[in-house]
A and B are shown apart, each in its own frame.
Chain A
């Protein structure tokens, strides 16, 4: 059996086997064994995904038939540049969060639950990779629910430090399930109209399907359902609490990975399952996705400014950043789609780094409110500087990935003949300057608290946390300087998506 031939299925199969094994591993008193195991497995998944990306970039899309049942009857795993990029991001974030997590997890989660924690973490990663890798529409739903169910459990594990994690998780469960069910209704309508569930096959059949109304309704249900999972602007209410009360390491992972996967699913369904040559798809892009994206950019950024909890502030900022991605998709041009993919990748890098820095602060200072960040530059210089670097990246300062994102988005807006969109992007970035600047001022210029819960001597975070954190910060700078990988790949990915759906260039 040729390993390379089986490569597309390896990330999913390996995690499927590894996750239950995690529960059986000896815990000891430190939880070190499941931690090392999860780290090892996530690195293996990352290696497989990088290899896949390299293969796809070189030889074009890879197709794999599960159980050798030929598509469209069997389930097909189909990897092109767009999902290879997302796969690499998701598994890369997991490969950094896993080694990062142990000290933070030990301080926030009951020791007896550490095996279960790492098991749920691997299942969540499995679900996210599965959603991204599969070429079968119903399979997307199954993997989406696998990742969501484990996310509910992971968020609820934060109950040891704050019982509000339980209600946050419950609300997410209700909203997430409604979203997933809407998605299934949409799939049912698509299936009824086309008689197939294979994504590429739906694309072919949809072109001359009799019931265009069913495809329209299907797309509407799918966008609402996945929009809930992606925390698209008016459907974001579950997100701030879920991010704020989840264990810090969990927040770092799901903030960087899971909403990105949901945005990817929107891109996939709009462009390569249904196809933007339909007039109603164009209308949905122009009159729904883009206005909602813009509204989210402004609303969420404004709300973020007034948050006292840093994790909650970053959660609102994430909702705003999803808005940029939706704006990019809504431009309905090749450049807009590429910009959206670039920002999807880059935002994973910056939010991952920011939430990791917050986890370091929560571990050492003992809180995540704005007060805990006072005078951080002197108390935890490495963590503080990492936070500032990635914060600047979030704002979009040159030499960081944030700048590349904003640049590609702004040029795409001009290219799509919508200069006002470029103006709005810059204007909402100014709000980001305000809320990130407020924290940077607190970190650099304020005195460390001498009374209250955050007083007292504070040590720098342990090296096992700082190295993954700074690796991500370095990635923030590296991909800000060397745009060859991200922008080129995203442009080629967008080209591939667009060429299928015949968009104007």
Chain B
């Protein structure tokens, strides 16, 4: 029983995502107002953004921006290693880097704070202290970094979060904004053409135009 509870609590980021997602989907389905539908759709999309950001978080890892000195250490090992360590998530299925955010660690609260920061679209803060206290986690990630195209021998103490999900979600946010813009523009045009943005009134207006009488008396009466 306890392990089930632990299992559920450890994955609290998924619960947040699921609750947000269902709220959004419920709003889209049940609300008749087109603007409310768009807001529900936005909630739904936001839950997915949070989902992506939390799976990229490595417990105790800092923002995926080189901490002073690390760049030189890595460059010293292999000349021409370019780009941020995006490859460490992309080229390996290392458990630590992928499930970091849901692993029980001494720094759970810290990780949780970072997750919430990620939700509000800030990069997780570069917290050198938490990285140092989490050497175990760092050691887990190290072979991963060594397996990356930087060659072997690079020993860096900093743990970085996986930047790829954040980058992906930046793209998805842009897509979401475009969708919202098109949806709101359509709502404006619908309001111009029908004089309403309530779905039942739109249906009643269409029925009236097509059959000469509203089939849905409830909608027509309003």
Q: Do A and B bind each other?
A: yes
Choose from A138, A163, A173 the contact partner of B183 (Cβ within 8 Å).
A173
**For chain A residues 427-463, which have a beta carbon within 8 Å of chain B?**
none
In contact, A73 and B168 (Cβ under 8 angstroms): no
Asked if B74 is at the interface of the complex by the 8 Å CB criterion, the answer is no
In contact, B34 and A145 (Cβ under 8 angstroms): no
Asked if A95 is at the interface of the complex by the 8 Å CB criterion, the answer is no
- 1/0 per residue A177-210: CB within 8 Å of B? 1101100110010011111110000000100011
Q: In the complex, how many residues of chain A place their beta carbon closer than 8 angstroms to a beta carbon of chain B?
A: 36
Residues of A within 8 A of B91 (CB): 72-73, 195-196
Asked if B189 is at the interface of the complex by the 8 Å CB criterion, the answer is yes
Asked if A149 is at the interface of the complex by the 8 Å CB criterion, the answer is yes
Choose from B95, B98, B182, B193 the contact partner of A173 (Cβ within 8 Å).
B182
Choose from A159, A167, A173, A194 the contact partner of B202 (Cβ within 8 Å).
A167
> CA separation between A327 and B222, bound complex, in Å?
45
Residues of A within 8 A of B37 (CB): 174
A to B contact number (C-beta, < 8 Å): 99
- 1/0 per residue B184-210: CB within 8 Å of A? 001101100110000000100010000
Of B28, B90, B98, B183, the most chain A CB neighbours within 10 A belong to: B90
In contact, B55 and A192 (Cβ under 8 angstroms): yes
Choose from B86, B172, B178 the contact partner of A184 (Cβ within 8 Å).
B172
Asked if A170 is at the interface of the complex by the 8 Å CB criterion, the answer is yes
Asked if A133 is at the interface of the complex by the 8 Å CB criterion, the answer is no
CB contact under 8 A between A141 and B186, given known A163-B194, A195-B92, A205-B93: no
In contact, A188 and B186 (Cβ under 8 angstroms): no
> CA separation between A429 and B209, bound complex, in Å?
35
Q: Name the residue on B nearest A187 (C-beta).
A: B168
CB contact under 8 A between A73 and B86, given known A166-B189, A170-B183: yes
In contact, B189 and A159 (Cβ under 8 angstroms): yes
In contact, A152 and B193 (Cβ under 8 angstroms): no
Asked if B44 is at the interface of the complex by the 8 Å CB criterion, the answer is yes
**For chain A residues 149-166, which have a beta carbon within 8 Å of chain B?**
149, 152-153, 156, 159, 163-164, 166
A359 CB to nearest B CB, Å: 22
Choose from B52, B165, B189 the contact partner of A156 (Cβ within 8 Å).
B189
Residues of B within 8 A of A152 (CB): 182, 186
In contact, A178 and B28 (Cβ under 8 angstroms): yes
- 1/0 per residue B95-126: CB within 8 Å of A? 10111000000000000000000000000000
Asked if A318 is at the interface of the complex by the 8 Å CB criterion, the answer is no
In contact, A167 and B206 (Cβ under 8 angstroms): yes
In contact, B44 and A181 (Cβ under 8 angstroms): yes
Jot down 17 A-B pairs with beta carbons below 8 A, ordered by A.
A145-B179, A149-B175, A163-B194, A164-B206, A166-B186, A166-B193, A170-B34, A170-B187, A174-B41, A174-B183, A177-B179, A181-B45, A184-B172, A185-B51, A188-B48, A210-B93, A210-B95
A167-B206, A180-B175 known, 18 other contacts, Cβ within 8 Å: A73-B90, A73-B91, A138-B168, A141-B175, A149-B179, A153-B182, A156-B189, A166-B194, A167-B190, A174-B28, A174-B37, A174-B41, A177-B183, A181-B44, A181-B45, A185-B48, A195-B98, A196-B93
